A = this chain, B = another copy of it.
Amino acid sequence: MDSSFKYSEVRVFAPASVANVSCGFDVMGFALGAPGDEIVVRSTDSKDVTIAAITGDEGVLPAKAEKNTASVAVRALLDHLNIDAGIEIEVHKQMPLGSGLGSSAASSAGAVLAANHMLGSPLSRNELLPFAAEGERVACGTAHYDNVGPSLLGGFVFIRSSDPADIFNLPFPEKLHAAVVHPQIEIKTEDTRKILRKDISLEQAVIQWGNVGGLVAGFMNKDLDLISRSMKDVIIEPVRSVLIPGYDSVKEAALNAGAVGAGIAGSGPSIFALTADRDTAEAVLKAMKSALDNVGLPSDEYLSAINTKGAEVIDVKE
């Protein structure tokens, strides 16, 4: 084993995440307790970063190192650290692809955390973000942080700036839960970005940044009413929601069942709701599922507290 490595193998769980959180397009996201990916990194005798195995992707993800989000992220990290050693990666997908739940981000976040841990943790989680974002660039075309941020750091994450990266956690009400339904249709992030208008009205933008500021203040003050009033997206949701059959009825069902707010998870098609506690999350999830059933769409459901740890090492081998 190359002397750079403290461990020969590291296994990491990296959580799914919900980007945007209604008004916060490209600047906000949070981590889910479940689902998530497992990533294994292992030292090799070569000088390459390679993909050794991918499971759970139904053969969809690229195994070529230059195309896979996990290997691209780890390659960027090793280059930055000037480490000339070999790593092979296993990607065990345990969540749907193209669901809006940050699947590619979980893989790249998990992979850089695992590689960093294998190297004795030379970088902090915050310092790892740009390398995970390089993985996102391969998957979605842009190095955005609204999924890798939550996947790596956990909790609610605010992205003041992507270039240079200026990213921090926001506090949130401790009992907050997320209910998510994933209608089984696939939407590619790249396509959902294409349908967005390049220009928006200043008037709408002012409404949106009023809500963004309100949402930040709401989380910092743990003020559920303010969070609820601020979870309104006048720019992205009206455009993207047309791609999701039954969106309006699912959102309405969530709010009627007591959700603090609801919206499109990332670029969709998953729909998320935040609730004040677990009991409400259960009622909200049931209502959302029932609304989707009425549209005739099968769905997966997820219910969890907010994940506060982010990606975590679950096993190592010396």
Contacts and interface: CB of A to CB of B under 8 A. Distances in A.
Interface of A: 23-28, 158-162, 166, 168, 170, 196-203, 205-217, 220-221, 226, 229-230, 235
A168 B221 CA distance: 12
Contacts of A27: 206, 209-210, 213
Contacts of A216: 213, 216-217, 220
Please tell me how many copies of the chain the complex holds: 2
A314 B216 CA distance: 36
B158 A217 contact: yes
21 contacts: A25-B209, A26-B206, A26-B210, A27-B210, A28-B213, A158-B213, A160-B210, A160-B214, A161-B207, A161-B214, A162-B210, A168-B226, A170-B217, A197-B202, A198-B203, A199-B199, A209-B209, A209-B212, A212-B212, A212-B213, A216-B220
Given A200-B199, A202-B235, A214 B24 contact: no
Contact of A217 (B23, B196, B220, B229): B220
Nearest to A236: B202
A206 B205 CA distance: 9
A166 B202 CA distance: 19
A214 B28 CA distance: 11
- Going nearest first, the 3 A-B pairs with the smallest beta carbon separation are A160-B214, A209-B209, A209-B212
A218 to B, nearest CB: 9
Contacts of A170: 217
A71 B220 CA distance: 39
A36 to B, nearest CB: 26
B198 A158 contact: no
